[in-house]
Amino acid sequence: MNDLATTVRFFFFILAELTVLFIGIDLLINLIREYVSDERIRKLMGRKGLSGYFLGAVLGALTPFCSCSTIPVTVGLLKAKAPFGGVMSFLLASPVLNPIILGMFLFLLGWKACLAYGIVAFFAAVLAGYVFHKSGLEKDIKPLGAARSGCCCGDGFVMPRLTFGQKLAWSLKVALEDFRGVLVYMVAGVAIGAAVYGYVPASFVASVAGPGNPLAIPVAALVGIPLYVRAETMIPIAVALSGKGMGMGAVIALIIGGAGMSIPEMGMLASIFRLRLVAAFVAFVFLTAVGAGIVFTLIA
């Protein structure tokens, strides 16, 4: 009965926290995007060199998409002739480094873990843009067709001016719709995490994925990559595993591997990239997860 009570308390407490965090942060991001147009972002990404990779990572950090939701935006950027390196930085940063993930890290794992994760993930995204650009893999993009000159508005259409209150109401509506889209994943993740927290022996987790196991980090990254796991699902599970003795390095490798890549995303990438580029990106996500896990272990 004590284990059941612990499980129920963990479930409702973490679910309530994540609900407030998700809606609040998503509302803020939607409101910011009301004032910064996608066209302006594409123009900023048009810069060559390091600044282009940097801006691609920044754009990814401001767009709370899962690994599969990132693909349509990537296609749009490529059709708009955004630089390849900046697009690859965006492709990695968007699912693994966004305000929702950072907010969850801050409140559930502490500011040190949040800061370290943000720095490592951002640096990895910038490095991805540089490596893929310099490797000449841009020629492995399949023909995508021309970009459209607008969403659903004809030439000469002028968007009506909205007041701040109208923009705020619209942003809240979008945030609630986004929340409904992830609610099932969030509840499932919190439920699994609560079960782990209440019933899985700490000694078992520590022996399999604790800091003393040198293979814990690469194994955690390999386990995370094939799964289609949203960060909203993975983080409560990771919090429970951490509480049971899983090393922080393995926790980070699991989160980055699970958020940055999945089998559905591999299939979607194969529709726009040739096999060599898909394989290279999967390998980069794995190395990023392992590298981040090692950095966290050294910090700890």
d(CA 16, CA 211) in angstroms, rounded, equals 30
d(CA 219, CA 274) in angstroms, rounded, equals 27
Contact 206, 248 (CB under 8 A): no
Give the pTM. Answer: 0.66
| Degrees, nearest 5: CA angle 47-129-27 | 80
Residues ≥6 apart with Cβ < 8 Å to 224? 234, 253, 254, 255, 256, 257, 258, 259, 261, 289
Contact 83, 47 (CB under 8 A): yes
Q: Where are the domains of the chain?
A: 2-138+166-299
Please name the amino acid found at residue 79.
K
> How does pLDDT run along the chain (300 residues), one tens digit per residue?
457 887 888 788 878 877 887 788 768 767 776 776 666 666 666 666 678 888 888 888 877 666 556 776 777 677 767 788 888 998 888 878 877 778 777 776 778 778 888 888 899 999 999 999 888 888 888 876 544 433 344 444 344 577 888 888 888 888 888 778 767 767 876 787 677 667 766 666 666 666 677 788 888 887 777 665 566 666 777 777 777 777 888 888 888 887 777 666 677 678 788 889 889 988 998 998 898 888 888 876
Contact 137, 276 (CB under 8 A): yes
